[in-house]
Amino acid sequence: MSDNLADIARSLVAKGKGILAADESSPTCAKRFDLVGIECTEETRREYRELLLTTPEASQHMSGVIHFDETFWQSTDSQTFPEYLKSQNIIPGIKVDKGLIPLDKFEGEKISQGLDGLKERMDKYFESGARFAKWRSVIAIGDGIPTPQCIQANAFVLTRYAAICQAAGIVPIVEPEVLYDGTHTIDSCYETIIKVYDALFGSLREYRVDMSGVILKTSMVLPGKTSGISINYDEVAEKTVKALHEHLPQDLGGVVFLSGGQTSNDAFINLNRIAKLGPHPWGLTFSYSRALQDPVLKLWAKDRENKKAVQELFANQLRLAGAASLGELNESELHDNTEATKSQDL
């Protein structure tokens, strides 16, 4: 595997492959385990992640895995998870932000934290096999928000993080998540997302970050989850692609989507329709947590001993997402549209 940042970014968004986000913090993991009646301990978290990572043939559709710090240092019976992934030609990644705190003086808005000591942490992760990282900021849409100050402050933090990653030889995934939660319209989501892209990419350029070694992790352009407006897949695809094509640099290393609390089916179909509107100037694929994992976690909770069935289900989720990333998903293959898990770090 090349250590060149642009090569790593290209491998992460290689055709038909995408990223598993398995970087839920321990409290978020506890919420998700709680919902399905599993006790959340260090060992059950390890056991569950091991099941996902060691799924046979996962590398066909999984280019990389994002870990939470605890999981990054955990092991199968013979190798650390990053060593195991590397042996499977899957790139190990690490979430490095330290969560969200209120943006003082801006009611209802948040800023991400974790820059202090970041270079030292990145050097340690690099030594132990990480070749990409993720940092999540959150932008909420509501009455009078987001403010330009919130967008700008988060863009700056993401930029500092990205520059530090690149200095450590690690590809930064910059994730300014525009929340699906809310009663806003799809147009208001579109307007917010393009402001966020403009601020973020303006700032990344200004601070001389190498775009070819950056991946954007973005929300899709959606009507708010509690707006009462149902998702029109073609409209989501058209508005998402318009925002991307008109506001992202051509030389960006890649684009990946979060699922953000959509059902698995919605997240797969929306990605499929977005991919169909290509060609796109960058590799474009999934970096899902809930959309890939929700049905898998439920099955595991029901039948802890049946490792084979759980891994087969996960492999199928990856296959569906991989097909969607190529615009080749047979949408009639999707079954019941189960309610997405609501728990996320807010």
- Residues near ligand 13P, by CB under 6 A: 21, 136, 175, 258-260, 288-291
The pairing of beta strand 284-288 with beta strand 215-218: unpaired
Residues 6+ apart with CB under 8 A from 47: none
Distance CA 10, CA 78 (A): 30
Return the number of the residue (172 or 260) whose C-beta is nearest ligand 13P: 260
Q: Residue 196 — φ and ψ, nearest 5°?
A: -65, -45
Residue 37, number of CB atoms within 10 A of its CB: 9
Least Cβ distance, residue 258 to ligand 13P (angstroms):
4
The pairing of beta strand 91-95 with beta strand 132-139: parallel
Return the number of the residue (123 or 181) whose C-beta is nearest ligand 13P: 181
Return the number of the residue (133 or 258) whose C-beta is nearest ligand 13P: 258
Residue 275: closest CA among 265, 284, 264, 287: 284
Which 3 state secondary structure label does DSSP give 136? Answer: strand
Q: Which of 24, 50, 109, 175 is catalytic?
A: 175
Q: Which of 110, 134, 217, 239 is catalytic?
A: 217
DSSP assignment string, 221-272: ----TTSSPPP-HHHHHHHHHHHHHHHS-TT-SEEEE--TT--HHHHHHHHH
Return the number of the residue (151 or 271) whose C-beta is nearest ligand 13P: 271
Return the number of the residue (45 or 136) whose C-beta is nearest ligand 13P: 136
CA distances 316 to 53, 56, 129, 208, 293, Å, are 14, 11, 27, 40, 11
Residue 220: closest CA among 240, 244, 198: 240
Return the number of the residue (74 or 287) whose C-beta is nearest ligand 13P: 287
Region class of 16: left (phi > 0), else alpha (psi between -120 and 50), else beta: left
Return the number of the residue (2 or 226) whose C-beta is nearest ligand 13P: 226
Q: At what angle do helices 307-325 and 42-53 cross, to 10 degrees?
A: 60
Known active-site residue 175: yes
Least Cβ distance, residue 263 to ligand 13P (angstroms):
11
CA distances 183 to 262, 263, 277, Å, are 15, 18, 27
ω before 82 within 30° of 0 (cis)? no
Known active-site residue 86: no
Which 3 state secondary structure label does DSSP give 253? Answer: coil
Residues taking part in catalysis = 175, 217
